[in-house]
Structure 1
Amino acid sequence: MTLTTNNGPDESLATAPSPTKAHRSGRWIEDWRPEDPEFWEKTGAPIAKRNLIWSIFAEHLGFSVWLIWSVSSAFLVAQGFTFTPQQLFFLIAIPNLVGALIRVPYTLAVGKFGGRNWTMVSAALLLIPTLSFAYFVTQPDTPYWTFCVIAATAGFGGGNFASSMANINFFYPARLKGAALGLNAAGGNLGVAIIQFFLPVIVGGAGIFGLVKASQGGIHLERAAWVYAGLAVIAVLAAFFFMDNLSNAKTDTKQQLSVLKHKHTWVMSFLYIGTFGSFIGYSAAMPLLIKLNFWRQPVPAVEGIGINFAFYAFLGALVGSVARPLGGYLADRFGGARVTLLAFSGLVVGTLGILFTLSQLQELPPPPDKAKLAEIAADPAAFQYPDAVRAAVESNADIFPLFLGIFLFVFACTGIGNGSTYKMIPAIFRKDAVVATGEGTPERELAVLDATKKSSAAVGIIGAVGALGGFLIPITFNSPWVTAPLDATKSAFTIFTVFYVVCALVTFTVYLRKRSGAKADTGYVGV
């Protein structure tokens, strides 16, 4: 059997018989053995690298579109829409809910249609949220419910992560999965930082730490949507020309869903809420948190006071994204469970630190009502900030460096935890295969391949459940049982701290605590 793509066979490579010889259209590789050192060195590595690069590009765009509302929601008022903070927090939560729910079908699609083929489809689907966003933000009479629907379609970008990770999982050998999946995920996660960094500049707002001033022509949110619609088209073309499908990644839905019966699928799902759910939830909420607690600007024509959220909101996602491959590397070296426990310990310390900084803040008076805003907009030169507002903003600005520093530490812990938990997933299923078969036997080879398929399916399930944290965190910041925004934020971080303590205990108990006698766990301790 030879390596076969739509470009024809490579006759120079003789390999063991492939499990399938059926002809397939498109770029299909019929024989793929990354665990074979010779095959990997001569043939596998370059192909895997090429697919990884373009997978990162498509996933990066998916994350950017997924989180486009995290920043644009803070600019909607400047665009002429009058939504309450409660409405805005819900608006940024909707894409995260949809993105979580569709991760399972997106993962299954890789096994059904092929990784390359589904990358093309998933990238094309990004045109729905971008083009609809571009149109409706220019219509001042657009109702809130319409924006909720558009925000829901932005969740398509969240599904890209699951299918991309499931696909790349097949391309790399076990010893490199942590680093490869970490790079793939980090490239996608960086989409959050990039959209939060460049969107304010693209739409005409101030940005890049104040080096770019706000445009005199006002805010134009549609510009960002047009940019990402164009990039989505490029992603479709790139997948078509440069990516491959793997025949041995083909599997049926029933086989993939069998991972639902594996108890560790649910344990890891719970832990992933604490790592990735925190990353995406904090990334979505951070711009609004800064704006509500550190910044005041009633209308765009009035100069704002305090800390401009557009200058700093992207930093959290950037730190979390960069830390993710570090988590994968550390997990490859020291074991995923140990690194995950370290990450949750850091999250406990970090959220306690944030609670301390919040206790030092003053509650900012609520923004003016609609009638007052109209009056200010009619004569902005006559507006003066009330002394109470100016004093509270200036006091909070002194606390902001500490708040930001601790929050970035929290983001770093989420990134490290993201990388380490995703290393644990294939390791758990591989240990199942190793324990059940003999070394060097054909059964071992088949079991390892089956484990790879199951771990790819598990990636989608775990990713879907974990991403629900991205919905729950913004909702918790808008706690309905607390009326004052600052008190709601304190209440939320108290809940998060307790949750991270539970996650740390689960990690230690299930994956690090050694048992003896009849309760000995020979399969998963130290993964």
Structure 2
Amino acid sequence: MTTSKPGAPRSSTWLPRWEPNDPAFWESEGKGRAWRTLWVTTFSLTLAFAVWFMVSAIVVRLNDIGFSFSGQQLFWLTAMPGLAAGITRLVHMFLVPMYGSRHTLTLGTLSLLIPAVGWGIAVQNPETSFTTFMVLAFLAGLGGGNFSSFMPSTSLFFPKKMQGTALGIQAGIGNFGVSLVQFLTPWVVGVNLFWFIPGGEQVWRWAGKTSNIWLQNAAWVYIPWLLLGAALTWLFVRSVPIKANFREQFAIFGDKHTWIMTSIYMMTFGAFSGLAAAFPLLIKNLYGGFENAPLPLKFAFLGPLIGSTVRVLFGLIADRTGGAILTSVSAVGMAVSALLVANYVTPTSLDQFPYFVATMLGIFFFSGIGNASTFRQMPIIFNPPQSAGVIGWTAAIAAFGPFIVSMLISTVTVATGNVKPFFYGLAAFCLFNLALNWYFYGRRGAEKPS
């Protein structure tokens, strides 16, 4: 790893020296700074995920407070943050090596104030156009884009032997932002938290009942925490003295393993993020027509909660077992779970709902294992700074998950009348990646055992 920033004077932003793989340096000053940086940035990353997925928690109530969007339009709104996240991650993957962690992560966190403020204003006016909501949904995806700066940054702070643990903790806790927003939204919208700001409540109609809610709270509740996260990042995070230009970073695209790991991570995180965004609408569309229908957000938060928890735990396990074996377990488990889900997407009664939720949670569980194990594999397969670039790139492509999953579900439903083909396709994709992982990384004599 580069240990100095060429031509740069000692400053409050750039560290003069950083050698985490040197045991003496790590024990004397590296460990404390690395862990402090991890906790500060993980706090901001959790907020980034919350802003990214707040759209999925808001759109399920738009029509219930006076809007009149079609089912396909609602899926478009859940898809747009994923499109934006993928595009902006392609930019973010280059920023930390060029501009440093301190500036990149602070400004990235502050940028999330734009969608947080905008959504809070838009939901209060039933005349807000679909186009406006599409723009705001796209801007919410800035939160997903931040991931490709946070994770490569963290990979630079820790020695290679601890990167599975560090990245698993940050990504896993960051993923809790998805569950947080879906769990928190039903609570915060029921209270007039921002009574001092002009605007009012909306009448929410559900299952023949009415009540007053403040849907703007689902976005505005994150504003003070985003300001705190940006302040903490600026105060406590410094930039690792490693520099790379665009040409150096593009070298990763000449390595076939970049593309293999991209496909595998699309299977794990792409499915996790995509289904996390679509889960509330799936519950509403598939089971919302029955008497005493379940509230989508009462159950949808369980998926990302389980996936995030598993990612943290298996980040620790992957450092001991290796990543390849766990990625294989993930692929098999996701494929089986997807096939089981397909049995409950054309329900004839509400009795099938618990089985639908349970099998969906199976996908989230096994995707969490794979999300942890792949981040153990990449620092082993690639050397720094290439590993940071690959982590940023694979994360960027997998961030298209919400866009791809929502669009596939919408398209398949329109074409066939149900969503079964989507889950069959997901199972096939998992088996394809199982073969890739086993051949290149998992079998005896593999090219890059990891």
- Normalising by structure 1, report the TM-score: 0.79
d(CA) in 2 for partners of 1:185, 1:17: 26
Q: Is contact 1:75–1:219 with CA below 8 Å preserved after alignment?
A: no
- Tell me if the contact between 1:331 and 1:419 (Cα under 8 Å) persists in the aligned partners: yes
Q: 1:31-42 residue pairs with structure 2 within 5 A?
A: 31-42=17-28
For the residues of structure 2 that align with 1:98 and 1:183, how far apart are their CA atoms?
Answer: 25
Residue identity matched to 1:404: V
Identify the match of residue 344 of structure 1 among 325, 331, 334.
331
Aligned match for 2:174, one of 169, 172, 188: 188
Counterpart-to-counterpart distance in 2, 1:17 and 1:455: 17
**Corresponding residue for residue 418 of structure 1:** 371
Q: For the structure 1 residues 139 and 25, does the alpha-carbon distance in structure 2 shift closer, same or farther, using more than 3 Å as the test?
A: farther
Q: Is the 8 A contact 1:274 1:469 kept in 2?
A: no
Counterpart amino acid of residue 38 in structure 1: A
How far the C-alpha of 1:483 sits from its partner, in A, is 5.2
> 5 Å matches for 1:228-239?
228-239=222-233
Between the aligned partners of 2:336 and 2:159, the Cα distance in structure 1 is: 35
Contact 2:412 2:419 in 1 (8 A): no
1:435-446 to structure 2, matched below 5 A, reads none
Consecutive aligned runs of 4 or more in structure 1 exceeding 3 Å deviation: 16-21, 213-217, 480-484
Q: Distance in 1 between matches of 2:405 and 2:95?
A: 28
Shift of 1:216: 6.7
Q: Which amino acid aligns with 2:422?
A: A
Amino acid at match of 1:29: L
The answer to whether the Cα contact below 8 Å between 1:126 and 1:154 also exists between their aligned partners in 2 is yes
Q: Which of structures 1 and 2 has the bigger CA Rg? A: 1
What are the superposed Cα offsets for residues 410-448 of structure 1, whole Å, 9 maximum, x if unpaired?
Answer: 10111110011111111101xxxxxxxxxxxxxxxxxxx
How far apart, CA to CA, are the structure 1 residues paired with 2:43 and 2:190?
A: 25
1: CA distance between counterparts of 2:325 and 2:354?
A: 31
Same amino acid, percent of matched pairs = 35
Following TM superposition, by how much is the alpha carbon of 1:57 offset from its aligned partner in structure 2, in angstroms? Answer: 0.8
TM-aligned CA deviation for residue 330 of structure 1: 2.6
CA distance in 1, matches of 2:244, 2:238: 16
In structure 1, what is the equivalent of residue 55 of structure 2? 69
Partner letter of residue 174 of structure 2?
A: G
2:214 corresponds to: 220
Q: Residue 282 of structure 2 corresponds to which residue in structure 1?
A: 289
Secondary structure (helix, strand or coil) at the match of 1:452 reads coil
Of the three residues 48, 58, 77, the one matched with 1:91 is 77
Which residue of 504, 507, 522 corresponds with 2:437?
507
So what's the TM-score if we normalise by structure 2?
0.92
User: Residues 258-299 of structure 1: CA distance to partner in whole angstroms, max 9, x if unpaired?
Assistant: 1111111111001111000000001000001111122249xx
**Residues 51-97 of structure 1, C-alpha deviation per residue, up to 9 Å, x if partnerless?**
00011011111100000111101010122111111111111011001
Cα separation, partners in 2 of 1:45 and 1:473, compared to 1, 3 Å: same
Give the secondary-structure state (helix, strand or coil) at the position aligned to 2:374.
Answer: helix
Shift of 1:500: 0.9
Q: 1:257 aligns with which of 250, 262, 265?
A: 250
Other-structure match for 2:356 = 403
2: distance between equivalents of 1:218 and 1:400? 28
Contact 2:278/2:402, CA 8 A, preserved across alignment: no
Taking the aligned partners of 1:58 and 1:100, their CA distance within structure 2 comes to 19
Asked if the contact 2:3–2:18 (Cα under 8 Å) also holds between the matched residues in 1, the reply is: no
Does 2:97 align with 1:111? Answer: yes
1:465 counterpart residue number: 397
- Per the alignment, residue 202 of structure 2 pairs with none
Say whether 1:245 aligns with 2:205: no
**Structure 2 residue ranges without an equivalent (≥5):** 192-204
Matched, 1:495 2:448: no
| Change beyond 3 A, Cα 1:115–1:19 | closer
Is the aligned partner of 1:160 residue 2:146? yes
Deviates more, 1:285-294 or 1:464-473: 464-473
When the two structures are aligned, how many residues end up with a matched partner?
A: 434
